[in-house]
Chains A and B, each alone.
Chain A
Amino acid sequence: MADEIHDADSLSSELSSKDEDRVSVASNWKLVWWRFRKNRLAVASAIVLLMFYAVVLVPDFFSNQDPEATDAFLAFIPVQGISFFDTTGFNPSVPDVVGKRNPVTLKMQWAPDETVRIPIGLFVRGYKYKVLSLFETDIHLIDAKDPKSKGRPHFLGTDRLGRDQWSRMMFGTRTSMTVGLVAVGLSMILGVFLGGISGYFGGWMDMVIQRVIELLQSLPTIPIWLMMTAALPQDWRPERVFLAITIILAFIGWTTLAREIRGRFLSLREEDFILAAELAGCSHLRIILRHMVPAFTSHIIAASTLAVPVMIISETSLSFLGLGIRPPAISWGVLLQEAQNIQTVALAPWLMFPGLVVIIAVLAFNLAGDGLRDAADPYGH
C-alpha cells in the first residue's frame, strides 16, 4: 500500500550477506522488480492487467460469437449458470433456453429447457478469425463443444437485440483498454517533451510552458470534454471518432505528467553526475536521453499507470453521455450507455456487468500503479 516504505536498506537487511552482494550490484530495474514483488496485491493486480491485455490482443479467442450478430428473438436472455457435473461425470454444460413473451406485460421470459443442455469446453473450435491479422485460426477459449449446435451458450446473457454480451465484452475491453493506453501514451510523450524542456532549460521557455499548463489546468475538465466531443461531427466513422477521443483525452491529461517531470528535471539538474556529464562535454540531448531519463523512467511508468484508469473512466463517461465512442463501435462506455435505461436496470440487470469490469480494471491499474510507484521510489513520494 501507499504508505509502506521500502528502501534498499530494509531490503538488504532482510537478506543474508551473500544476497547483499547481489543487491549492491543489481541494476535499478532489478531492484524495482524485487521491491515490487514483495507487494502481493500489486503483483496480483499486474497479473489481472496482463489478462486484460491478452484480451486486447486477441479478443476473438476469448469470445465465441460475432459481437454484432443480432437476433431479436433471442433478446434479453439472462445469465445461465454453468453446471459442471451431470449423470455421466464431469461434463460442463449450459442449459438451452426457451423464450416466450408474456402476453400481458410483453416481457420476454426465458426458462431453461431442462431436456436440452449444451456441453461446453475449453479450447474448442468455433468461428474463424485472424490473430493480429497474421494467421487464421478457429480456436476459442470457451465455447459449445459442437459448433453446429442450435443453441448457443450466452455466458453473460444477451441484450435487447439478442447480441451475446460475453463476446461484446471482449471487444469492448479491447477498445477501452486501447484508448486508455494510447491516450496515456500520447500524454506521456507530450508531458515528457514539454515538461522536460521546461525543467531542463528553464528561463522564459519554462515560464511560457508553465502558463500554458496553468491555463489548461484551469479549465473544468468534464465541461470541456463535453464541448470538445460535442463538437465532433456526428457522421465521422468510428475509427476517426476513436482517434479524436484519444487525442482529446490526452490533450487535457498531459499537464499533470508534465508538472511531475518538470519537477524531476529541476531536482536532477542539480545532481553531481549531470554536472559531470556537462563538464565532460555531452550535448544536451545526450544528457537528457542517456542520463536523466533513465533516472526517472520508473516514476514515469508508475505515474502513467495511475493515469490510465482516469482515462478509462473519462472515456466511459463520455461514451455514456453519447458523446464519445458511439455504436456500432463497442467500448465499455457504449455497453454501459446501452444499459443505462429503466428497462435494463429493472428487467435485465446482467447488462450492467461491464460496470463491474470497469471497476476491476481501474482497481487493478491503481493497485499496480501504487505498487510500481512505491517500488520505484525508495524514499516514499
Chain B
Amino acid sequence: MKRLTRILIACLCAFIGLPSAFAATKYKEAPVLAALVKAGKLPTVDKRLPENPLVVPGNEIGQYGGVWRRGFVGPSDFNGVNRVIYDVLARFGPDGATIEMKLAESVTPSADFKTWTVKLRKGMKWSDGSPFTADDIMYWYKDVLQNKDLVPAIATWMLNKNGSTVLVEKVDGLTVKWTYNEPNTNFLLELTTKDYGDRQYPIFQPSKYLKQFHASYAKKEDLEKKVADAKFKTWTELYANKQSPFDNPERPGMAAWLASNRISEQIFILKRNPYYVGVDKAGNQLPYLDEVQIKFFADAQALNLAAIAGELDEQERHINLLNYPVLKENEQKLGKYRIFLWSSPGGHDAGVVFNQTYAKDPELGKLMANKDFRIAMSLAINRKQINESAFLGTGQPRQAVPKKGHPYYPGDEYAFKYTEQNLAEANRLLDSIGLNKKDAEGFRLFPSGKRVVIELSVVEVFGPYRDIGTLVTKDFEKVGVKVNMQIRERALHFQMRQANDLQAELWNQDTAGFPFTGSTKYDFRKDLYGNLTYGPLWKQWYDTNGKEGVEPPADAKKIIELQDKAKTVGPAEQIKIAQEIFKLWVDNMFEIGTVGLTATDQGVAVVNVKLHNVPANLTKDWPLRTPGNGRPEVWFFK
C-alpha cells in the first residue's frame, strides 16, 4: 500500500474517533494477551502483527476463548498435527482449488516461469518476538538443504533437470528468489506442501534459535555437550530434535498454535501464538481458540467412542465411516455435536491395479498388460455392492478422475467409463483374448493350459479394504479368473511393489486433484515405494534411458510427455493437459476405480454444536492439509 494512502487512512480513523479502549491500537487481541501487554510482558498487538497481516475470511466474526479437544493415536500420527496448523508460506482454501497467501505476501513468477519471487510480510515475527526475514529462508537453503549431514540427498522439487541444485537468492530483507533452469509452473503448488509434513525440514526455520544446534555455527565443545546431555549420539540427531516443533516446545514458530509440551505426552497441548500473522475482517488478531488439546488414544476404537460421546470438539481423523449410524443416532440423542461429510477432490477410494510389467511369470505379465483384460476386469466388478457394504451407500461408482466441478474434470463419459457391471461383455472380452478354455471348476486357463491365478495384495489401511478385496475377488471369480487375496502389512507390500513383485494390488493413491505434484500416480517415474504398481519396469526404462526395463506403451509415454509439458505452461493450458491425461488414464485402465467420493478417509467430521465457522462443505485431501484448509484459526466457541 502506498505510504501516503496509509497516512490518509490513519488520519481518517483518528477523525472518526475510536472511543473504545482500543483506540490506541489498530487491531484487537485476545483478553489473555491484553493482560500480558498491560503487565508489560508483551508488546502491543500492532507491534506484534506485520504491517500487512493475513486477513482470514470467515462466516462470522468470532469471540476469543475456548479449548479445541482433538484425538490422535500416537507420536507417529504427527501429520495429524501438521494438518491442524498448516504452517506454510501459501495454502489452499476450502474449495481445494484456489491457493491463497499465508505467511508470504506474494509469490510472483517471471513470464517464462523460470524465476519465482517470494515476498514476505513486513514486520512478521517469530513467536519469541524476533523478526522473520529472508534470512530464515536463506538459512534453510544454505545450511540445511545443502548440508550433507542433515540432508543426504536433495528433494526433487529443488533440483533442475540436469541434477544441479536450484538457485535461491536473497533479494532484500523480505524477498527471496528461486531460479530454475527450466520453466516450472508447479512452484506455487509445491510451496503449499513445504511444512513439517513427513518430518521433512520446512523451508523456513527460526535461524537465530537453531544456529546454536548447528555444527557450522555452534562451538564444537558446546555442541558436543548439548548432544551428550540430550542423550543423542550425533549433532544431526540433536538438530532434528530441536528443530521439530512437536518435540521441542522452546522452538519459535509461526503457526497459530504452538506446542507447549511434547507430542509424546498423553495430551499434546498447543497454545496460541501471540505473534500469529492473521487477523479477521474486523481486525481481531487470530486465532480465536486459546488452546488445542490433542489427546492420545491407544486404540482408534476408543477415539471413535470418545467422538460418539461428544468429548471431541472437531475430529475427522481416524473417524471410521462405518460408525456413521452410531454417530448419527447419538447426534440426535445427545445434541452435543453435528456431523459434516467432507469429500475429496475426486478420484476413488479403492482401486485395483494390475502390474503390466510383472516379470516373474511372463504369461501372466503379458495378460495383465493387455488392455482388453483390464477392461474386462473393470466390467466384472459389482460396484453397487462395494458401495453398500464398505461405504454405507454414500459413494459413487467411478474411475480415478477428479470430481465434477473441479477444473480438471474430463467429463461424465470418462468418469463413469467401464463402471457398469456387465458380466456378458467381460466374459466376451476374456474369451476374445485367448482365455476361452476353462477347467473343471470353471476357471479360465492360459493358452498353455495353466490356470489363470492372480494374487491380489491388500493392505488394510483405508477403511474396510479387506471387505472390498473379498468382494472384488468374488466378482473376478464370477468371470472365471481365480484370485488369491493376500492381506499384507504396509511395509512388506511397499517393498514388494518396489521390487516389481506385486501382481495386482488394491490401493488408493488418491491424488486425482493433484496430478502434477507430489508422489502422483500419473507419473510412473516417481519413486515406486509410494506409488502404484501399474508398470514398475517402465520407470526403470526411463531411468536407464532405455537400457533396462520395459518400454512403456505409447499412451503411457504420452502421459509422461504431457506431464513434462504441464510444468512449463500456465494454468489454463494445464487444465487442458490434465484433462487429456485423465482421458488417457481411463481409456487404458491403468487403474480400475471402484467407488469414490465417499467420506471414508477423514471425511466424517464430528463437530461440536458450539463451534462456529467450521465449513460444512470442505474439500479434503492431504495436500490440502484438511482440516487446515478449513482455516481453523477462525473457528470459535459460542
Question: Taking beta carbons and an 8 Å cutoff, which residues of A are in contact with B?
Answer: 70-73, 75, 101-102, 104-107, 160-162, 233-235, 326-328, 340-343, 346-347
Known A-B contacts A73-B388, A161-B470; the reply to A234 vs B492 at CB < 8 A is: yes
Q: Are B471 and A160 in contact (CB under 8 A)?
A: no
Q: A102-B325, A105-B324, A107-B329 are in contact. List 11 more A-B contacts (CB 8 A).
A: A72-B390, A161-B470, A234-B489, A234-B492, A235-B487, A235-B488, A328-B470, A341-B322, A343-B320, A343-B325, A343-B326
Q: Are A101 and B392 in contact (CB under 8 A)?
A: yes
Q: 5 smallest A-B Cβ distances: which pairs? A: A72-B389, A107-B325, A105-B328, A72-B388, A72-B385
Identify the interface centre among B301, B324, B388: most chain A CB within 10 Å of its CB.
B388
**Nearest Cβ on chain A to B453's Cβ, whole angstroms:** 13
Q: Are A106 and B301 in contact (CB under 8 A)?
A: no
Asked whether any CB of chain A lies closer than 8 Å to the CB of B323, the reply is: yes
**Nearest Cβ on chain A to B152's Cβ, whole angstroms:** 30
**Nearest Cβ on chain B to A214's Cβ, whole angstroms:** 33
> Which one, B320, B474, B485, B486, contacts A70 given CB within 8 A?
B474
Main SS class of interface, B: helix
**What residues on B are CB-neighbors of A102 within 8 Å?**
325
Q: Are B488 and A234 in contact (CB under 8 A)?
A: yes
Bound-state CA distance A106–B387 (Å) is 12
Q: Are A161 and B467 in contact (CB under 8 A)?
A: yes
**Nearest Cβ on chain A to B599's Cβ, whole angstroms:** 10
Q: Are A160 and B322 in contact (CB under 8 A)?
A: yes
Asked whether any CB of chain A lies closer than 8 Å to the CB of B304, the reply is: yes
Bound-state CA distance A242–B395 (Å) is 37
Known A-B contacts A234-B487, A234-B492, A235-B486; the reply to A342 vs B389 at CB < 8 A is: no
Bound-state CA distance A309–B456 (Å) is 36
Known A-B contacts A70-B474, A327-B466; the reply to A342 vs B325 at CB < 8 A is: no
Q: Are B394 and A346 in contact (CB under 8 A)?
A: no
**What residues on A are CB-neighbors of B301 within 8 Å?**
340-342
What sequence of 0s and 1s flags, for each residue 99-134 of chain B, a beta carbon within 8 Å of any chain A beta carbon? 000000000000000000000000000000000000
Asked whether any CB of chain A lies closer than 8 Å to the CB of B386, the reply is: yes
Closest residue of chain B to A102, judged by CB?
Answer: B325
Q: Are B389 and A106 in contact (CB under 8 A)?
A: no
**What residues on A are CB-neighbors of B324 within 8 Å?**
105-106
Q: Are B385 and A73 in contact (CB under 8 A)?
A: yes
Asked whether any CB of chain A lies closer than 8 Å to the CB of B57, the reply is: no
**What residues on A are CB-neighbors of B329 within 8 Å?**
105, 107
Q: Which residues 382-435 in B have Cβ within 8 Å of A in the complex?
A: 385-386, 388-390, 392-394
**What residues on B are CB-neighbors of A328 within 8 Å?**
470, 485
Bound-state CA distance A342–B326 (Å) is 8
**What residues on A are CB-neighbors of B305 within 8 Å?**
342
Bound-state CA distance A161–B385 (Å) is 9
> Which one, A106, A161, A340, A341, contacts B392 given CB within 8 A?
A106
Bound-state CA distance A72–B471 (Å) is 9
Bound-state CA distance A75–B486 (Å) is 23
**What residues on A are CB-neighbors of B471 within 8 Å?**
70, 72, 161
Q: Are B467 and A106 in contact (CB under 8 A)?
A: no
Bound-state CA distance A197–B286 (Å) is 78
Q: Are A327 and B389 in contact (CB under 8 A)?
A: no
Bound-state CA distance A327–B468 (Å) is 13
Closest residue of chain B to A107, judged by CB?
Answer: B325
Closest residue of chain A to B484, judged by CB?
Answer: A237
Bound-state CA distance A235–B323 (Å) is 29
Closest residue of chain A to B300, judged by CB?
Answer: A341
Asked whether any CB of chain A lies closer than 8 Å to the CB of B255, the reply is: no
Asked whether any CB of chain A lies closer than 8 Å to the CB of B263, the reply is: no
**What residues on A are CB-neighbors of B328 within 8 Å?**
104-107
Asked whether any CB of chain A lies closer than 8 Å to the CB of B369, the reply is: no
**What residues on B are CB-neighbors of A343 within 8 Å?**
320, 322-323, 325-326
**What residues on A are CB-neighbors of B364 within 8 Å?**
none
Identify the interface centre among A161, A233, A328: most chain B CB within 10 Å of its CB.
A161
Bound-state CA distance A102–B329 (Å) is 11
**What residues on A are CB-neighbors of B597 within 8 Å?**
none
Q: Are B326 and A347 in contact (CB under 8 A)?
A: yes
Known A-B contacts A73-B388, A326-B487; the reply to A160 vs B492 at CB < 8 A is: no
Q: Are B467 and A160 in contact (CB under 8 A)?
A: yes
> Which one, A72, A106, A342, contacts B308 given CB within 8 A?
A342
Closest residue of chain B to A75, judged by CB?
Answer: B389
Q: Are B323 and A342 in contact (CB under 8 A)?
A: yes
Q: Are A346 and B326 in contact (CB under 8 A)?
A: yes
Closest residue of chain B to A322, judged by CB?
Answer: B460
Identify the interface centre among A105, A162, A233: most chain B CB within 10 Å of its CB.
A105
**What residues on A are CB-neighbors of B486 within 8 Å?**
235
What sequence of 0s and 1s flags, for each residue 299-340 of chain B, a beta carbon within 8 Å of any chain A beta carbon? 001001100100000000000101111101100000000000
Bound-state CA distance A107–B392 (Å) is 8
**What residues on B are CB-neighbors of A346 within 8 Å?**
326
What are 10 contact pairs spanning A and B, CB under 8 A? A70-B470, A72-B388, A73-B385, A101-B392, A105-B324, A107-B329, A327-B466, A342-B308, A342-B323, A347-B326
> Which one, A72, A106, A340, A341, contacts B325 given CB within 8 A?
A106
**Nearest Cβ on chain A to B421's Cβ, whole angstroms:** 13
Closest residue of chain A to B388, judged by CB?
Answer: A72
Bound-state CA distance A104–B388 (Å) is 15
Q: Are B325 and A105 in contact (CB under 8 A)?
A: yes
Bound-state CA distance A196–B305 (Å) is 53
Bound-state CA distance A79–B492 (Å) is 40
Bound-state CA distance A341–B488 (Å) is 21
Bound-state CA distance A328–B304 (Å) is 26
Bound-state CA distance A357–B353 (Å) is 40
Closest residue of chain A to B390, judged by CB?
Answer: A72
> Which one, B386, B466, B488, contacts A72 given CB within 8 A?
B386
**Nearest Cβ on chain B to A235's Cβ, whole angstroms:** 5
Q: Are A161 and B389 in contact (CB under 8 A)?
A: yes
**What residues on B are CB-neighbors of A101 within 8 Å?**
392-393
Identify the interface centre among B320, B322, B324: most chain A CB within 10 Å of its CB.
B322
What sequence of 0s and 1s flags, for each residue 466-504 of chain B, a beta carbon within 8 Å of any chain A beta carbon? 110011001000000000011111001000000000000
**What residues on B are CB-neighbors of A347 within 8 Å?**
325-326
Q: Which residues 346-396 in B have Cβ within 8 Å of A in the complex?
A: 385-386, 388-390, 392-394
**Nearest Cβ on chain B to A220's Cβ, whole angstroms:** 19
**Nearest Cβ on chain B to A324's Cβ, whole angstroms:** 13
Closest residue of chain A to B490, judged by CB?
Answer: A234
**What residues on A are CB-neighbors of B322 within 8 Å?**
160, 341, 343
**What residues on B are CB-neighbors of A106 within 8 Å?**
324-325, 328, 392-394
**What residues on B are CB-neighbors of A326 within 8 Å?**
487
**What residues on B are CB-neighbors of A160 within 8 Å?**
322, 389, 464, 467
**What residues on B are CB-neighbors of A71 within 8 Å?**
385
**Nearest Cβ on chain A to B620's Cβ, whole angstroms:** 19
Bound-state CA distance A102–B332 (Å) is 14
**What residues on A are CB-neighbors of B304 within 8 Å?**
342
Bound-state CA distance A343–B385 (Å) is 19
**What residues on A are CB-neighbors of B474 within 8 Å?**
70
**What residues on B are CB-neighbors of A105 within 8 Å?**
324-325, 328-329
What sequence of 0s and 1s flags, for each residue 449-472 of chain B, a beta carbon within 8 Å of any chain A beta carbon? 000000001000000101100110
**Nearest Cβ on chain A to B390's Cβ, whole angstroms:** 8
Closest residue of chain A to B474, judged by CB?
Answer: A70
Bound-state CA distance A234–B386 (Å) is 25
**What residues on A are CB-neighbors of B488 within 8 Å?**
234-235
Bound-state CA distance A346–B489 (Å) is 28
Closest residue of chain A to B304, judged by CB?
Answer: A342
Bound-state CA distance A326–B308 (Å) is 29
Bound-state CA distance A104–B320 (Å) is 17
Bound-state CA distance A342–B305 (Å) is 7
**Nearest Cβ on chain B to A246's Cβ, whole angstroms:** 20
**What residues on B are CB-neighbors of A107 within 8 Å?**
325, 328-329
Q: Are A75 and B325 in contact (CB under 8 A)?
A: no
**Nearest Cβ on chain A to B323's Cβ, whole angstroms:** 5
**Nearest Cβ on chain B to A97's Cβ, whole angstroms:** 16
Closest residue of chain A to B324, judged by CB?
Answer: A106
**What residues on B are CB-neighbors of A234 within 8 Å?**
487-489, 492
